[in-house]
Structure 1
């Protein structure tokens, strides 16, 4: 249903439209600081707009459209591309999407309609429909942004949405960080594993990988490669880490819906009302929205109270972030092998010497230790998310000093005076390394525990049980006609592989003990084999080597297979490139405030 000026009566009489300068100020806080600096000297930049047709997104669209008339040259040069997602649930949704697109084009905003393809009929009756729709919507938006070369997507969430979100999280039992509300900027959600969308693709290298070989030639090459060897393994350039990814921005979080209505009305921008948004029986958010619309809420649940609560929680976590960043700079990472995801790290002592205020925040010592552990584990874990609460026990092992200087319920055990044992948490393996060098130990800790030592740790991907290793296998069939997409293997390595054969599969799987002899035996020179073993010993010691990928040639209708490459190490057997071509990148990692050795060869943070 189309709404226009008369709907402004919904807004409170004291509400006013959003001034262009207000919008620019809000935009500069959540987006422009880093993005405008990246754009200097590169012409007009295009930003994506997620538009539903409702008053929120139409207000965002008209505010962005009006930037072409502002005084700032940088903002005046911005271009916008709108995306409308048609869920295909409501009758007439397709026509409505077309009408919204026509309106936006009339405002000089190019628009593309994205339609969700459902696999079943009666999709609106799915119990998890809202969750599925959210995932499909964001993945469509992410892929559309990628196809347009867009890395910034604006969303129209506003102040009222923020209140509803905080209320929903209170109802769900969230505490602490969960009450900080929606962020003004973040990585695009629901797009894990999509290359170029989820934290990747910042520096995509386009190479032409083409060519086919006949079956007869393939058989000849297999015989040739098993009979001839080169002197040394072919070591390619060091592995690089990914950069980029699409980020979402919410420049309207500080504006009420009433002001958005006034903004649309003042700019003669029509909008479309989705009647399902007013049905309190459909979603939790609709029910909460109905409560605020038709009932007087208790003071503690009023809009100002919830916004104030969120502000206080955010202030607390800003303080925590400052302390965490202080200690992050003190973490000593002596090595980081991207090819195997192995880091050697020594954590700092955590104490109340940072500032007097921490003395009254004993629990925060434990929170700091958990955050430090989380930041470090994120460098090598295959997991998409790690629950902070799952790290509490591990934090007391890595930071045993907190047991002495804090009375928190977090841990009551006394610090270990003997060498700790290996343990796993968050998908990674911690192995203690005893070294003679030790960080300065606080006097109070020395007096209570004279033999206290702070250990160095080797941290790597947790070894997989044999029964589950094959579930990670990736098969690239023969006779691929185009370059394969980038695939995220084990949550750590992005790999793009092309099968150049006619009758064999290329399989990417985990390196196994049974592969070692067949792989090394393809290098005739004893010196070459020693170099291979030395490389594995240095970069993939012990069980770490069984967590890296290997490319294997597997003939169809035959048990024959041949190991071709340890791609992350850049080691190929002779003639491996006859059968396939591959590129590998390590996942994107955040190095903010961490001192990563330059030899790690990171391409960016």
Structure 2
């Protein structure tokens, strides 16, 4: 019979938090489901609050609504956390019965949960949130990634510190950091923590059904006693593998960032989205004693500054790796595309990355129609954050600048001040050459009433916001993605 698991002491919990942040934040968020894991996290965090080592705790309780009793459980959890001195908030997710039954519900629920947490953190001005994922969860994750053929990046499993996933188009969500202090701690110790301290928790019976989800199947496989798995595939070994892979991934990233700082020149034009970068002319200077994985990560980091994509996957960069890092003689390298960008070689190890022309479907996706007043923040084409103020009796249309708009733009230039006309000419002739001018956002006004001076249904060019060109006293805020 295995020895009884030990509860987590407060000094140990402090140490786990300091592994995440040497100076433990005074203001924290918690993601709480009401299960034994998150209630152990809540109990230990309450002790820190009682000792005044932290000052404020916001607890976000996601009610998936997948079980009839979930709403009542969420309310009960909120009452418990309020008695702890936390600021609890129940966030219900709405699903139809058909959606819950469909294949893929687990993935959709995960996405909805993370997006709800991100919005709650941004609204509550919480920039650090703790999750109760533990060593058993980590082992399940690594096992599933091994089965799917993941490489080093995936085998790191869940990170101890990371941004909230699935939130690429939620403004300021990238400023929120998730911390997972229990990734090397077994679930049995979290349960022992609750049992020892008389902490109440709620059981989701579906978690014990090995046929309910793929993760449940993996959990059943890993926790069956005695284990039928070889030692290399048992929890301790998988958690150790994840820790080593995470350390290696972190080291590669740090080396790549150091390489960029010391040996690369990067200029990002946030007005046009164009990026120029230059590597050392002497290939030996760049490649000497540098791990190829570090060089690849370097190129990914550079690419992520300009790509319209959510993230740059290594497997999608093969073409760029070969041409930028592999070819010694680049004189005859033609322009190519990768990660949503056109790559142009300028000679002497210098490259220019521009947004590739948007396909028709993408053009439709990047068109927003806004009513009067100030809009919410939107991420246009995965590159510019914008919000637009629309006048009364108007609609604003934010879309890509098209070839058919050029006549209107030139006519505007003829009716404005010489200074503004010079700016328009400079943009068209110098900054927006070729197809690049048809990859930037434009704001149009459309009048909703026939008596307006422009006439019903007419679109009027109001601004080219990324260039700072305004023609109708349009008001907006814009900045390039972080």
- Using structure 2 for the length normalisation, give the TM-score: 0.90
Name which of 16, 23, 34 aligns with 1:53: 34
Q: Give how far 1:419 is off.
A: 4.1
Partner of residue 317 from structure 1, selected from 225, 233, 249 = 249
1:381 corresponds, among 307, 310, 322, to 307
Larger Rg: 1
CA shift for structure 1 position 353: 7.9
Runs (4+) of structure 1 moved beyond 6 Å? Answer: 352-355
Report the CA distance shift for 1:431/1:63 in structure 2 as closer, same or farther (over 3 A): same
Say yes or no: does 1:423 pair with 2:314. Answer: no
Decide whether the 8 Å contact of 2:465 with 2:478 is kept in 1. yes
Q: Per the alignment, in what secondary structure is the counterpart of residue 277 of structure 1?
A: helix
Q: Does 1:565 align with 2:455?
A: no
Separation (CA, whole Å) in 2 of partners of 1:91 and 1:13: 37
In structure 2, the partner of 1:492 is: 383
Q: Which has the higher contact order (CA 8 A, sep 6+)?
A: 1
Residue 331 of structure 1, CA deviation: 4.5
Alignment partner, residue 23 of structure 1: 13
Q: Secondary structure at the match of 1:66?
A: helix
* Structure 2 residue 425 is matched with structure 1 residue 533: yes
Q: Deviation per CA, 1:283-336, whole angstroms, max 9, x where unpaired?
A: 122112212332412222122222232233334434433432332123433532
C-alpha separation in 1, matches of 2:330 and 2:72 = 71
Distance change in 2, residues 1:466/1:51 (3 Å)? closer
Question: What SS does the corresponding residue of 1:82 show, helix, strand or coil?
Answer: strand
Displacement after TM superposition at 1:66 (Å): 0.2
Provide the C-alpha distance between the structure 1 equivalents of 2:183 and 2:318, rounded to a whole number of angstroms.
Answer: 33
Alignment of 1:60-459 (within 5 A): 60-70=41-51, 76-118=53-95, 120-197=96-173, 199=174, 245-295=175-225, 296=227, 297-333=229-265, 335-348=267-280, 351=284, 364-365=291-292, 367-400=293-326, 415-416=328-329, 418-434=331-347, 454-459=348-353
Cα deviation for residue 527 of structure 1 reads 5.8
Q: What is the number of equivalent residue pairs in this alignment? A: 471
Equivalent residue number for residue 444 of structure 2 = 552
Rounded Cα–Cα distance in structure 1 between residues aligned with 2:258 and 2:119: 37
Report how far residue 471 of structure 1 moved. Answer: 3.4
1:350 and 1:369 in contact (8 A); partners too: no
The CA distance in 2 between the partners of 1:281 and 1:287, in whole Å, is 6
- Unaligned runs of at least 5 residues, structure 2: 451-455
CA shift at 1:338, angstroms?
A: 0.8
Q: CA RMSD in A?
A: 2.4
Q: Distance in 1 between matches of 2:112 and 2:182?
A: 24
Unaligned runs of 5+ in 1: 1-10, 37-44, 200-244, 359-363, 402-414, 435-453, 589-605
Deviations 1:523-575 (A, max 9, x none): 435564233212344433332222111111233474522211111111112xx
Q: Distance in 2 between matches of 1:465 and 1:353?
A: 36
Q: CA–CA distance in 2 between the matches of 1:126 and 1:52? A: 22
CA distances 1:172-210 after superposition (whole Å, capped 9, x unpaired): 22232211111011111122212232x2xxxxxxxxxxx
Q: Quick check: 2:395–2:446 contact (8 Å CA) kept in 1?
A: yes
1:92–1:56 Cα change, 3 Å: same
Match in the other structure for 2:400 = 510
Alpha-carbon distance in 2 for matches of 1:156, 1:103:
17
Q: Is 1:460 equivalent to 2:354 in the alignment?
A: yes
